[in-house]
Amino acid sequence: MLAIGTKVRIRFTGETATVTSWLNDGMVQLRLDDDPDFLIPAFEEDLDKLDSLSGSKPSFVPAGKAPPPPPPPPDRRRLKLGKPSARPDGLQLCFEPMPGRDESVSRYKMWLLNDTPHEFLFEIDVFSTERDIFFLEEMLDAASMLELGDFLADDLNAAPEVIFSIQRITTAGPDDRQEKDLKIKAKTFFNALYQVPMLSQPVHRFVLMSSFDNQDKSAAGPSLQELAKQQARKIPTNTRGNSMPFKAFNIEEMASFVPEIDLHIEALVGPGASRLDKGEILRIQLLHLRKFLDRAERLGASHIFVIHGVGEGKLKDAVATMLREDSSVRKFKNEFHHKYGYGATEVIFY
């Protein structure tokens, strides 16, 4: 049983939290670090202790002294290719072998290679049936390589999968989002060898994106920082009564924002959802919806879709109640949609 006060990470969402009490059937109650007003239940088997993740034991701290802050994570390496390729392959996911002392390879360094003349905002989620490997939202420079993280050789035995999405940066702003779902099979992995000049040995490579929409929009445009400044000048402050001035949104975060949330419990917490009762499920669903609404409002989104399904209608009614109490929501409607049918509510903000 985890001790009360233990710091943990929720395996399926990556959120960190503190154990506040014990519940029945191997469950504990958690207070989320990024939203301390909410308490949620979780199974102990779906949690990782933060001190065990770091591999170190907590050090002794004299009374009256604060513990030293943890060291910042090392910066991700960025390598410049010099100039774009005359015949670019596009955006490529590369696995660089990292041999140990006995020359055996138990892990790979993952890189995102861009040999095009374009800049991109991207989002990548790498996971397997056994664990969440990593999730990253970043900007990728033209003709460059970006270090992503580590991939274990054992992950190849657990059906690894990559969900990748991009938006190309142009003078008119970010292009429409493009997405790729890549399932990695061991046989394909070992056959996909490719020589990258910037690295010292052949890598295992997968081409994620080789063509991009609206390529004639811009051959070369302003940097992301310049785009952010232009966007900030365009956005007026919010003049709605009894409200805080509206700050210009972060264009990088807004460009990667997907204006929909799927509240099906399997999409929120993973396979452990089957062990939750209906009351706990509804509480978790509404917690995620509240956080998503706050993010959409902060970024200045004009509208979003909340996917709740049809079912018995209890979740749809609970969503409607929350939306009626949100002063930032101008209106919402549950009408037939070509993508969602009647299983989603469209929310329109002021």
Q: What is the DSSP letter of 13?
A: T
Q: Report how far Cα 16 is from the mean position of its chain's Cα atoms.
A: 15
Q: List % helix, strand, coil for the chain (3-state, nearest 5).
A: 25, 35, 40
Exposed, middle or buried by CB within 10 Å (0-12, 13-18, 19+), for 62? exposed
Q: Which distant-in-sequence residues (6+ apart) come within 8 Å of 294 by Cβ? A: none
- What is 257-349's CATH topology? Ribosomal Protein S8; Chain: A, domain 1 (3.30.1370)
Residue-range domain boundaries for the chain? 7-54, 78-217, 257-349
Residue 177's nearest CA partner among 211, 210, 213 is: 213
- Nearest residue to 209 via CA among 161, 150, 167, 174: 167
Retrieve residue 153's tokens: 């050789």
Structure tokens at 18: 């503190």
Q: Which tokens in the block code for residue 344?
A: 């989603």
Q: Which two tokens stand for residue 66?
A: 């604060």
- Strands in 329-333's sheet, in edge-to-edge order, are 260-262, 303-307, 344-349, 329-333
Q: What is the pLDDT of residue 245?
A: 36
108-119 as b/e, with b when 16 or more CB fall inside 10 Å?
Answer: bbbbbbbbbebb
Go through 213-252 and write b for each residue having 16 or more CB atoms within 10 A of its CB, e for each that does not. Answer: eeeeebeebeebeebbeebeeeeeeeeeeeeeebebbbbb
Q: Is 78-217 a CATH 1.20.140.10 domain? A: no
Which of 250, 345, 343, 342 has its CA nearest to residue 301? 250
Enumerate the H helices of 40-148 as residue ranges.
50-54
107 half-sphere exposure, CB direction, 13 A CA radius: 8
Instruction: Choose among 59, 101, 94: nearest CA to 79.
Output: 94
Which pLDDT belongs to residue 44?
Answer: 84
Q: What is the pLDDT along the chain (350 residues), one digit of tens a residue?
A: 788 888 888 876 778 888 887 877 678 888 888 777 667 888 888 788 886 544 444 444 455 555 565 555 556 889 998 888 888 999 999 999 988 777 888 899 999 999 999 999 999 999 998 888 888 989 999 999 999 989 999 999 999 999 999 999 988 878 888 999 999 999 899 988 898 877 878 999 999 998 875 444 444 445 444 554 454 444 444 433 333 333 444 666 777 788 999 999 888 887 777 778 888 888 889 989 998 998 888 888 889 999 999 888 899 999 999 999 888 898 999 988 888 888 999 999 87
Quote the pTM value: 0.45
